[in-house]
Amino acid sequence: MKSFIQGIPKCELHLHIEGSLEPELMFEIADRNEISLPFPNVEAVRAAYQFSNLQDFLDIYYAGANVLLHEQDFYDLTWEYLTRVYRQNVRHVEIFFDPQTHTERGVAFETVISGIREALRDAREQLHMTYKIIPNFLRHLSAESAMQTFEQALPFGKWITAFGLDSSEVGHPPSKFKSVFDRVRAEGFLTVAHAGEEGPPAYVWEALNVLKASRIDHGVLSMEDAELVAYLKKHKIALTVCPLSNVKLRVFDKMESHNLKQLLHAGLRATINSDDPAYFGGYMNENFLAVQEALDLEKEQIVTLVKNSFEASFLSDADTNCYLAELEAYVAGMDQSTTAPVNIMD
C-alpha cells in the first residue's frame, strides 16, 4: 500500500505556497534579507509548531512569511515545494497564495506572482508538471481591501484561474465578500472558498450560494447538515480535505476520528491535500499515508480520492482525461506515460 500511494500520479488542489516555507529556507532567506527571526534556530521554529486552533497557526504562519521580500524569495519557495512534490508523483498543482500578506508589508503584487509563476513555468518545462494559480483574499481584512487586491491582480489576470478566500473563518462569513466575488466572476474568473473548516455549515451554503464557489476548501463540517450533504453530492462539489491540517488544528482530536470515510460513504467528491505542509508535518504522500493507516482505507478508495482531484481540477476536459488515463494505466500496473498535457493558461 505504501509504495502504491507513493507512486500513484497525484493532483494537489489546496496548497498555500506560504505554508510550504520550511524552517531551513526561512532562515536562509531571512539571512540574505538581513531580517532577524524571533527564533534562535530551525529546531526552535519546529518546536513552536504546536497549535490549538486555526488562529494559533495563522499568527505564526503570517510571521514566517515576513522573510519573503524579493521575486527570488517567492521563486525559491515555490521551486522547493514543486521539486519536493514532484518526487511524490504530484503531476498537477493548483497553488494558493495570499497577496495581502505581502502587499500589506509593501511588497508589490507583481513581485509575488512573478516569482511564483516563474518557478511554475520552470516546473512545467523541466518536470512536466502542470499548474493553475489561485490568489486568496484574507477574510479577517475588509471587503474594501479584498477589492483593492483584486484591482492589483487584474493586470496579471491571464496568469490567474480563480480567486479564493482564506484566513480566520469564524466571524468572517463568505457573504462579507459578496461584492468582491461578484466582480471576480464578472471578470471571468472561477471562485473557491475555505468554508466548514472551523465555521458552521451556514458558511458553506454562503460560499456556494453567494460566492458561487466551484469547490469548497476543507468543508469537513458540512457533515453536520444533511441537506447540505445532499446538495454537495447532487452538484458534485469537491471538498479539498487536508487531513494532517485538520488534526494539527484540532478540528479532529486524532486521525482515527477524521470523517473522510463518512464523506466518501455519503458520495461526496472528497480529495486529499496538504494545506500548509511545512507546518502540519507532511506533503501529499504523508497525508495519504496518515489517513490510509488511521482509517484503514482500501486501495480503491485511494484511487477514488486521486480521481476526484483530477476531476475537480480546473484543467480542461482534454487535459483531465490525459491524467485520468495515466492514473488508469498506473492502477492497471502498466508503464506510466511521461508526457504531460500542455497547460493552456499561460
**By the criterion CB under 6 A, which residues form the site for ligand ADE?**
16, 19, 54, 166-167, 194, 197, 245, 275-276
Quote the least distance from Cβ 217 to Zn ion, whole Å. 5
Buried b (16+ CB within 10 A) or exposed e, 64-93: bbbbbbebebbbbbbbbbbebbbebbbbbb
Site string for Zn ion, 249-288 (x = CB under 5 A): --------------------------x-------------
Quote the least distance from Cβ 245 to ligand ADE, whole Å. 5
Q: Which does 73 bind (CB under 5 to 8 A by kind): Zn ion, ligand ADE, none?
A: none
Q: Which does 173 bind (CB under 5 to 8 A by kind): Zn ion, ligand ADE, none?
A: none
Q: Which residue is nearest to Zn ion (CB)?
A: 275
Q: How far apart are CA 134 and CA 3, in angstroms?
A: 31
Q: Three cell numbers at 71?
A: 521575486
Tally of CB atoms within 10 A around 9: 20
Q: Three cell numbers at 195?
A: 468554508
Nearest to 255 by CA among 225, 204, 293: 293
Quote the least distance from Cβ 210 to Zn ion, whole Å. 19
Quote the least distance from Cβ 320 to Zn ion, whole Å. 23
**Length in residues, the chain:** 346
Which CB atom, from 53 or from 336, has the smaller least distance to ligand ADE? 53
Annotation says 197 is catalytic: yes
Which CB atom, from 275 or from 326, has the smaller least distance to ligand ADE? 275
Which stretches of the chain are assigned E, i.e. beta strand? 10-16, 90-97, 130-138, 162-166, 190-195, 215-218, 238-241, 269-272
CB 217 within 8 A of CB 248: no
- Which of the following is catalytic: 12, 94, 197, 206? 197
Q: Which does 23 bind (CB under 5 to 8 A by kind): Zn ion, ligand ADE, none?
A: none
Quote the least distance from Cβ 91 to ligand ADE, whole Å. 23
Nearest to 10 by CA among 256, 276, 286: 286
Which CB atom, from 146 or from 322, has the smaller least distance to ligand ADE? 146
CB 14 within 8 A of CB 136: no
Q: Which does 248 bind (CB under 5 to 8 A by kind): ligand ADE, Zn ion, none?
A: none
The DSSP secondary-structure symbol of 281 reads T
If you compute the radius of gyration of the chain from its CA atoms, what whole number of angstroms results? Answer: 19
98 touches Zn ion (CB under 5 A)? no
Which CB atom, from 197 or from 326, has the smaller least distance to Zn ion? 197
Q: Which residue is nearest to ligand ADE (CB)?
A: 166
> What positions carry a catalytic annotation?
197
Which residues sit at the interface with Zn ion, rule CB under 5 A?
275
